[in-house]
Amino acid sequence: MPSMAPLSGGSKDGTGPGGGAGLPFGGRFGPPDGGSSGGDAAGKRKAASALPEARGNKRQAILDQRRALPISSVEGELVNLVKKNDTLVVIGETGSGKTTQLPQFLHAAGFCKGGMMVGITQPRRVAAITVATRVAEEMGVEVGKEVGYSIRFEDCTSASTQLKYMTDGMLLREALLDPLLSRYSLIVIDEAHERTIHTDVLFGLLKGVQKRRQAASTASTSSKQKAPKTGDSLKDLQSLLATSNTPAVKKISPLKLVVMSATLDTKGFCEYFNGAEAVYVQGRQFPVEIFYTFTPEADYLDAALLTTFQIHLEETPGDILLFLTGQEEIESMERLLKERASHLSQNVQKLLVVPIYAALPSEQQMRVFQAAPEGTRKVILATNIAETSLTIPGIRYVIDPGLVKARAFNPRTGVESLEVVPVSKAQAQQRSGRAGREKPGKCFRLYTEDLFTKLVATTVPEIQRCNLANVMLQLKAFGIDDVLGFDFMDKPSRISIVKSLEHLYSLGALTDEGKLSDPIGVRMSRFPLEPMYAKAMLISCDMGCSEEMLATVSMMSVDSVFYAPRDKLQEANNARKRFISVDGDHITFINVLRHYIQEAEEAGAEAGEGEGTSSNSSANENKKAFKRIRSWCSANFINARSLRRAVDIQKQIRGYVEGMGLKITSCGEDMLSFRRCLAASFFLNAARRQLDGTYRALSSGQSVAIHPSSVLFGKKPDCVVFNELVRTNRSYIRNITQVDSLWLPELAPHYYAAQGVGTPSQQQS
């Protein structure tokens, strides 16, 4: 393709504020290297008024906006390339319009004919919703009709849907039910550079689907051909293709694939997709000047503080975005900045400090989107959440200390930890790009240019740094038995795969031959849960306490529901007391969920009592109920967002259980039965108290301690099961329930030697 000019670059010749010239903290920064980049999907725009006249104007405005996008000048070429290639790699920089426009081009070119769909995956739920909404608006249709989206808990599509935006995890789910993705003519994997675990699994899977649909379509044209050769890892699906559903399969057309990425790291993608062609689409991003420090900073927090005031006192208006590693760091920086800002002289503009991180309650998160008052500069203290997940308007200055808190995972021990590590080059570029969304901006990297060149190019893909039990279960469910030979773009370590297979085997999900067991493994793979929780649901159905386990796995699947701000710790602990069970955290969580649901029901009933005839009054009643629940949450120091999510999950899992023909039953007050069920479910995570008072995890033999946030902290139970093993200063277990040590060999005899619970009967290594 005569393609498409290179992406717009940063300025090469800017003179930096640091360059030595008269700054209060001068001499800190060297000259710019002129880089700029980064970006995310198209943002949400305001819906226009519904007045006919305004609507006409709106349509014209939309058309103008679409035509102005860099991608629209190459529509014809792009469509031809898609037609010509089975797989096409599209590199589109920020603001190119690829996410909203390319699917519309494909729609116009006839890829949705004959009831077929174009599917577009996104790593995040919000992106799927906002982009689908925008595209529907541009096409002048209602969301959910021709253009729809599908995310967990919300399917906004219909029989007439032709462009379907969805989370990557959702497409994986769909592939379980329809292994050939027979309703799709083309799949677009967007934001492929983010390399989420779902995206990476999809890569391998879709390559397989392409192969089989190719085979099916040529088989149907060249008439008879025997079942495809077996012997490769996909033989199960191939035989499925050969035996079942024959008429439909014969008609199937080949599957096209478009992989869209924001980085220039095309080589890896093209090689992986069998030498696929790549095209570049120019972006539209303002230049961002990059500054480095001349020497390494001993204390990056101090350097960040000084740089903030340097910008504040010397630079033109525009808000500042400072990247920090976590909540604690943000809170202390907030205090420091506020303290220093209070000493600013009267004739200097004010500084407004706003924190944002995922655990912050939503009302407080919203503050970053409010414009600062006249004559005030806003400084936003953010975690990685501001890197991709949300775009904050008004940012012209980015301060990047070059560090990030990332999850690490030791496959040998199964221990997870969070560690502060240097960012990758791609991440640093993504961060600096945040300064050039609306106007030219500046990015101050609190490290030397030499150090930048030594950073790794891209972040290690998620699939290489987390627990793979779920992924392996899904692959087995797809009929891929040879998981070690699966076509990963970046293969996880062998030990990591083997360990997760052992884990699945211990749970009974795999047979001695390593195949998915039926019905246990098959059922487990259907649940949108960690394998251990999926198994727990199945066991609890046999043990008569599935209602309690349903509440437990729902609560275990969300972020901590207890919200304890540092300054109100005592109050929060007191509030928690009313929910506590002496048996442990699991039953405590069940109590929280039950109280919440009861409160919500009462609030709903109270609202219903005063129900009037007008919809207005019922809306008010809803608002009242909502308010009551929210104040109940804050009075009890409970994170409302987490609990709402737990309720959603509970509802969804209940549906799955019932769909399998299993019964949800409660054991009532018989918590002994429920604790036995917890022991039977979580036997892989058991720990026993040693003579010296420490605890020993039975499966790995490592020494662990009960986390102080557990209700069993300081209670010295003899034997416990737990759900989380996290390493910080030492190894802590969290979410714990007391069990009788004799239950373990009784309920998990295949794992624990019958004579006792000193050690498991296998897996000693």
Residue (511 or 573) nearer to DNA, CB: 573
Q: Please name which of 362, 355, 297, 369 lies closest in space to residue 326, comparing C-alpha atoms.
A: 355
What's the CA gap between 596 and 753, in Å, rounded?
41
How far is 741 from 688, CA to CA, in rounded Å?
8
Judged by CB under 7 A, the stretch of 38-46, 380-388, 512-520, 615-623 that binds DNA is: 380-388
Under rule CB under 7 A, residue 726 binds DNA: yes
Cα 487 to Cα 232: distance, rounded to the nearest angstrom: 11
Work out how close the CB of 467 gets to DNA at its nearest, in angstroms, rounded to a whole number.
10
**What is the rounded distance in angstroms from the CA atom of residue 131 to the CA atom of residue 617?**
34
Residue 596's H or E segment, with its range, is helix 585-609
Nearest to DNA of 100, 470 (CB atom): 470
The verdict on 125 binding DNA (CB under 7 A) reads yes
Considering only 167, 261, 496, 650, the residue that binds DNA (CB under 7 A) is 167
Q: What is the dihedral of CA 663, 666, 670, 674, to 10 degrees?
A: 60
**Residue placing its CB nearer to DNA in the complex, 131 or 679:** 131
Q: Which long-range contacts (CB under 8 A, 24 or more apart) does 149-155 make?
A: 151/125, 152/125, 152/528, 152/652, 153/648, 153/652
Whole-angstrom distance, CA of residue 488 vs CA of residue 473 = 15
Q: Work out whether 112 is an interface residue with DNA (CB under 7 A).
A: no
Binding residue for DNA, selected from 100, 185, 196, 723, defined by CB under 7 A? 196
Alpha-helical segments (H) within 141-234: 168-177, 197-221
In contact, 122 and 165? CB cutoff 8 Å: yes
- Judged by CB under 7 A, the residue of 126, 451, 460, 484 near DNA is 126
Between 67 and 566, whose beta carbon lies closer to DNA?
A: 566
Q: Which of 328, 601, 670, 746 binds DNA (CB under 7 A)?
A: 328
> Shortest gap between Cβ of 21 and DNA (angstroms)?
36
Binding part of the chain for DNA, among 76-84, 476-484, 509-517, 704-712 by CB under 7 A, reads: 704-712
Sign of CA dihedral 382, 387, 390, 393: positive
Is 349 a binder of DNA (CB under 7 A)? no
Q: Is 552 helix (H, G, I), strand (E, B) or coil?
A: helix
- The only residue of 198, 576, 586, 676 in contact with DNA, by rule CB under 7 A: 198
Q: How far is the CB of 192 from DNA (least distance, A)?
A: 15
In whole angstroms, give the CA distance from residue 324 to residue 328. 9
CB of 472 to DNA, least distance (A): 13
User: With contact defined as beta carbons under 8 Å apart, do 727 and 417 qualify?
Assistant: yes
Q: Does 336 bind DNA (CB under 7 A)?
A: no
Binding-site residue total for DNA (CB under 7 A)?
Answer: 49
User: Would you count residue 728 as binding DNA (CB under 7 A)?
Assistant: yes
Q: Is 713 in the site for DNA (CB under 7 A)?
A: yes
Report the alpha-carbon distance of residue 270 to residue 486 in Å, rounded: 18
> Does 708 participate in binding DNA (rule CB under 7 A)?
yes
Q: Give the residue, chosen from 85, 327, 424, 694, that forms a contact with DNA under the rule CB under 7 A.
A: 327
Least distance in angstroms from the C-beta of 313 to DNA: 30
Is there a contact between 552 and 681 (Cβ–Cβ < 8 Å)? no
E strand or H helix at 127: helix 125-139
Asked whether position 580 contacts DNA by CB under 7 A, the answer is: no
Angle at 342 between CA 340 and CA 343, to 5 degrees: 70
| Interaction between residue 503 and DNA (CB under 7 A) | no
Smallest distance from the beta carbon of 712 to DNA, in angstroms? 12
CA–CA separation, 233 and 484 (whole Å): 10
Rounded to an integer, what distance in angstroms lies between the CA atom of residue 655 and that of residue 649? Answer: 10
Residue range at the interface with DNA (CB under 7 A); choices 315-323, 355-363, 498-506, 602-610: 355-363
Instruction: Decide: is 389 part of the binding site for DNA (CB under 7 A).
Output: yes
Min CB(57)–DNA separation in Å: 33
Our finding on whether 657 is near DNA (CB under 7 A) is no
Nearer to DNA, 310 or 639 (CB): 639
The string of DSSP letters for 193-208 reads GG--HHHHHHHHHHHH
> Which residues does 640 contact at the CB level (< 8 Å), separation at least 6?
361, 629, 630, 633, 634
Helix (H, G, I), strand (E, B) or coil at 634: helix
* Secondary structure in 3-state letters for 553-590: HHHHCCCCCECCCHHHHHHHHHHHHHHCCCCEHHHHHH
State yes or no: residue 566 binds DNA (CB under 7 A).
Answer: yes
Binding DNA (rule: CB under 7 A), the pick from 238, 470, 735, 738 is 470
Among 217, 253, 665, 709, binds DNA (CB under 7 A): 709
Binding characters for DNA, 391-420, by CB under 7 A (x = yes): -------------xxxx----------x--
* Closer CB to DNA, 581 or 622, in the complex: 581
Shortest CB 392 distance to DNA, Å: 13
333 binds DNA (CB under 7 A): no
Return residues touching DNA (CB under 7 A). Answer: 123-126, 151-152, 167, 169-170, 172-173, 196, 198, 325-328, 357-359, 383-385, 389, 404-407, 418, 470, 528-530, 557, 559-560, 564, 566, 569, 573, 707-709, 713, 726, 728-730, 732
